[in-house]
Copies of this chain bind each other. A is one copy, B any other.
């Protein structure tokens, strides 16, 4: 079996996450994703019998897992330092991509599928947001924030980073991201005792 075939399912999931972030849930098609992944169409239908909804839910979870693993690793150095590094990486990603980099999890969250209700990708996005939230909140509590405040701050981080990426994509400018990052780092600073 050639490598182009054996790792096809993973390449298809990667390609689906890319398309999801770029053109949205409804405009992503199994055919285009498979072409982008340079995979055989028959293999895609074989590995994702649930079709597009299943594939996009898997892509959302995979993208969420990657960010989660990164967050967990960075937060080991403390919530403030970890967030700082996470923001620096997203900043680079936006600049390097010419403001085309987007988040497949956000795309899965904001689009209602035209052909299936309830949305499996949306449920996957909910799962991902909840996991990111838990890691951030735990790290913020460890840094001295009260649990309720930590929960609020964790939601503020996720919401405002997602929103800032969208603003930068619209404006083709890094300024909104830098402004949001400055305020977030101020907000998560350990409370005075």
Q: Could you tell me which A residues sit within 8 Å of B by CB distance?
A: 22-27, 100, 102, 105-112, 114, 122, 125-126, 129-130, 133, 151-156, 158-164, 166-167, 169-172, 175-176, 179-180, 182-184, 187
Complex A-B: 11 CB contacts under 8 Å: A27-B114, A110-B110, A153-B183, A156-B184, A158-B163, A159-B160, A159-B162, A159-B167, A162-B163, A162-B167, A163-B164
Partner of A106, one of B27, B105, B166, B171: B166
Known contacts A159-B159, A163-B158, A180-B156; decide if A172 and B24 are in contact (CB<8 Å).
no
Partner of A179, one of B151, B166, B172: B151
Dominant SS at the A interface?
Answer: helix
Partner of A109, one of B126, B133, B170: B170
A191 to chain B, nearest CB (A): 12
A160 to B183, CA, bound (A): 11
Is A156 a contact of B160 with CB atoms below 8 Å?
yes
Known contacts A26-B27, A27-B24; decide if A180 and B167 are in contact (CB<8 Å).
no
Is A183 a contact of B166 with CB atoms below 8 Å?
no
A126 to chain B, nearest CB (A): 4
A91 to chain B, nearest CB (A): 14
A104 to chain B, nearest CB (A): 10
A162 to chain B, nearest CB (A): 4
Q: Which residue of B lies closest to A181 (CB)?
A: B152
Known contacts A151-B179, A176-B159; decide if A170 and B27 are in contact (CB<8 Å).
no
Residue from A102, A105, A160, A171 having most chain B Cβ neighbours under 10 A:
A160
Partner of A156, one of B22, B158, B179: B179
Is A169 a contact of B109 with CB atoms below 8 Å?
yes
Is B163 a contact of A159 with CB atoms below 8 Å?
yes
